[in-house]
Each structure stands twice: as C-alpha cells, then as structure tokens.
C-alpha cells in the first residue's frame, strides 16, 4: 500500500471515529461535571456534643440535627455530619472543612463569620444550683459574687458575655458543670432548661442534689448557620428557610418536637422571614 493511500485511509477512519470519540469525551465530561455538582451540593455539617439537641446517642443524632437535616434534604442538599468538640469544630470552619453549624445562637461577632437561618427552636435559658443554695436571680449583679459554670463556646447575650465582673468558668460539657456544682466547685451553672432536665433525668444522684432556678434567665432562638466563606451561603439559607416554613405548615416540625416531649405549639417560636428581633 502506498503511503498516500495509507494516509488517506487513516484519515477516513479517524474522520469516521471522530463522532464516536466526541461522544465518549463528552460523556466523560458530563460524568465529571455531575460529580463536581454533587460535591458542591453536599454540605458538611458539624456541631458540639449537646444532648438532646446534638448527640450520637440520640435518635437521628438529636432534636436540632433532625430538624436541620430534614430541612436541608427538603431543600435538595446532600449532607454529611460530625459531632465534635467546639474548638475543633471552629478550627475546621476556618480551614474550610465545615460548611454548616447545626445549632448556633446569634450574636454580632458570629454574624461576621456566619449567615443565620430563621430560628427553628427557642432555648429557655435557666440557672441551676445546689438544693442547698438560696440563690435567686433578679438582676445581673446577683451573679457578681458567684463562680458560674458556662459551657464552652456558649453565648448568653451581650450583657452576660461582656460583663467583666462575672466569674465565668468555661467547661467543656453541661454534665460536667452539674457535677462541679454538686461538689461545690461551682456555685451555679447556666444552660437550656431541656438540656438540664435531660441530664438530671439520667442521674438520680445529681437530680436529688440540684435544682433549676425560676424564672428563665433568657430566651435564645436557635439557628442553623452557614459559613460566609461559601459563595452560596445566602442561597443555602434561603432554601432552608423555605423548607422550614413548609415543615411548619405540614406538621413535620411539630412531629419532631413531639419525639422529645415538646408540645406542637412549640413551632410558634418561629419568626417570620421579615422579623429579625433575634438580632442583638
């Protein structure tokens, strides 16, 4: 076969195979694009151990986790989730390994780093003390002489967070705060009532030693928060808020509340998208 004939036939074969090759290449490209889109839509969620809101030992990993995962799934997102200590979680937010915090209370400092969803729960914050204590709360000055156990990373409002006269002891877990009060290493602790009740119900000795102080010290709306380092943080929040509204209307949110012995009316705490009274 002459070189010119071979060249002509080779060109003809390549021309015939070109559409086939394009189909194969475009198919591979489509697969790669679909993988990238899937990865972009998979949100990496995290939260600190905080039973019954976030806990690997709770059904659906806790009340807050179940609400947030249900909302994000309805909004079309795939998710992965890890429960990890507060400091490690925040470090991974900064390094880009965590996109979404499952449950976070709003304050101005956090607002610089995160975009907040509408609230999906309302935490009623109480002090807890020894049964022997005569402590009563009327104003912030009642706390100045006390050693106060505060869960690591928790924020209880501007005045409490910033008062230089408060002797606040940072403790990793609420259960440790309760134990420290029982052995008089702390005078009082502070956290959500549901959390305190949940922990006391699991320990009869602590339950007999401690009491929850009435009335509530503060009410704090609980939010999902998305790191502002994601360009689509606003879109994620908007889709979640819409899903949360639908969950409220169709009864799914109330059903989740009822799993934790909360009344169906608890969804009344949800604020409308135009109401930002939770912003301090």
What are the tokens at 239?
Answer: 């889709």
Please list the residues that pair with 71 across neighbouring strands.
Answer: none
Domain that holds residue 262: 40-121+222-269
DSSP 8-state symbol, 138: S
User: Are both 127 and 207 inside the same structural domain?
Assistant: yes
User: Are both 130 and 212 inside the same structural domain?
Assistant: yes
Digits of tens for pLDDT over the chain (280 positions)? 544 454 555 454 444 454 454 444 544 444 444 334 444 568 999 999 888 899 888 878 899 999 999 999 999 999 999 999 989 999 999 999 999 999 999 988 899 999 999 999 988 999 999 999 999 999 999 999 999 999 988 888 888 999 999 999 999 889 999 999 999 999 999 999 988 998 999 999 999 999 999 999 988 889 999 999 999 999 999 999 999 999 988 989 988 988 887 654 454 455 444 455 545 5
Least Cα distance to 193 among 209, 180, 174 occurs for: 174
β strands within 21-153, DSSP E: 42-47, 78-83, 100-104, 114-116, 121-130, 147-151
User: Are both 63 and 188 inside the same structural domain?
Assistant: no
For residue 202, what is the domain's CATH number?
A: 3.40.190.10
Determine, yes or no, domain membership for 82: yes
What are the tokens at 248?
Answer: 């409220």
User: Are both 78 and 202 inside the same structural domain?
Assistant: no
- Please report, for residues 71, 121, 234, 271, 272, the alpha-carbon distance to residue 244 in angstroms, rounded to integers and kept in the order given: 6, 11, 15, 11, 11
Question: Cβ-count burial of 130 within 10 angstroms (0-12 exposed, 13-18 middle, 19+ buried)?
Answer: middle
User: Are both 243 and 106 inside the same structural domain?
Assistant: yes
CA atoms of 5 and 69, how far apart (whole Å): 65
User: Are both 100 and 230 inside the same structural domain?
Assistant: yes
Determine, yes or no, domain membership for 132: yes
User: What residues contact 208, with CB distance under 8 A and at least 6 apart?
Assistant: 131
CA atoms of 212 and 59, how far apart (whole Å): 26
The pLDDT assigned to 267 comes to: 47
Least Cα distance to 149 among 107, 182, 125, 180 occurs for: 180
CA atoms of 22 and 72, how far apart (whole Å): 37
User: Are both 129 and 212 inside the same structural domain?
Assistant: yes
User: Are both 56 and 175 inside the same structural domain?
Assistant: no
CA atoms of 75 and 91, how far apart (whole Å): 27
Least Cα distance to 200 among 55, 61, 51 occurs for: 51
Number of domains in the chain: 2
What are the tokens at 72?
Answer: 């994000």
User: Are both 135 and 252 inside the same structural domain?
Assistant: no
User: Are both 156 and 235 inside the same structural domain?
Assistant: no
User: Are both 146 and 157 inside the same structural domain?
Assistant: yes
DSSP 8-state symbol, 105: -
Determine, yes or no, domain membership for 173: yes
CA atoms of 59 and 103, how far apart (whole Å): 17
pLDDT in tens, 27-83: 444 444 433 444 456 899 999 988 889 988 887 889 999 999 999 999 999 999 999
User: Are both 152 and 212 inside the same structural domain?
Assistant: yes
The pLDDT assigned to 1 comes to: 53
The pLDDT assigned to 260 comes to: 80
- Please report, for residues 28, 52, 60, 107, 202, the alpha-carbon distance to residue 212 in angstroms, rounded to integers and kept in the order given: 62, 17, 28, 25, 15
Determine, yes or no, domain membership for 11: no
3-state DSSP assignment of residue 266: helix
């Amino acid at each position: 076969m002459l070189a010119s004939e071979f060249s002509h036939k080779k060109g003809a074969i390549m021309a015939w195979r070109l559409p086939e090759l394009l189909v194969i290449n475009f198919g591979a490209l489509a697969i790669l694009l679909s993988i990238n889109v899937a990865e972009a839509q998979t949100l990496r969620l995290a939260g600190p151990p905080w039973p019954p809101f976030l806990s690997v030992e709770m059904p659906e990993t806790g009340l807050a986790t179940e609400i947030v995962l249900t909302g994000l799934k309805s909004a079309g997102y795939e998710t992965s989730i890890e429960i990890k200590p507060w400091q490690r979680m925040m470090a991974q937010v900064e390094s880009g390994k965590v996109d979404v915090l499952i449950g976070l209370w709003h304050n101005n400092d956090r607002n610089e780093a995160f975009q907040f969803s509408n609230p999906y729960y309302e935490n009623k914050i109480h002090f807890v003390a020894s049964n022997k204590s005569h402590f009563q709360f009327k104003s912030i000055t009642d706390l100045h002489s006390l050693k106060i156990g505060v869960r690591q990373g928790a924020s209880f409002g501007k005045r409490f967070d910033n008062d230089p006269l408060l002797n606040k002891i940072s403790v990793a877990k609420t259960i440790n705060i309760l134990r420290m009060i029982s052995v008089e290493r702390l005078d009082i602790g502070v956290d959500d009532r549901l959390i305190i009740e949940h922990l006391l119900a699991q320990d009869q000795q602590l339950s007999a030693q401690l009491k929850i102080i009435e009335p509530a010290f503060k009410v704090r709306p609980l939010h999902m928060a998305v790191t502002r380092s994601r360009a689509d943080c606003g879109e994620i929040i908007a889709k979640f808020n819409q899903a949360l509204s639908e969950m409220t209307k169709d009864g799914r949110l109330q059903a989740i509340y009822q799993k934790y012995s909360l009344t169906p009316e608890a969804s009344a705490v949800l604020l409308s998208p135009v109401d930002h009274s939770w912003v301090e």
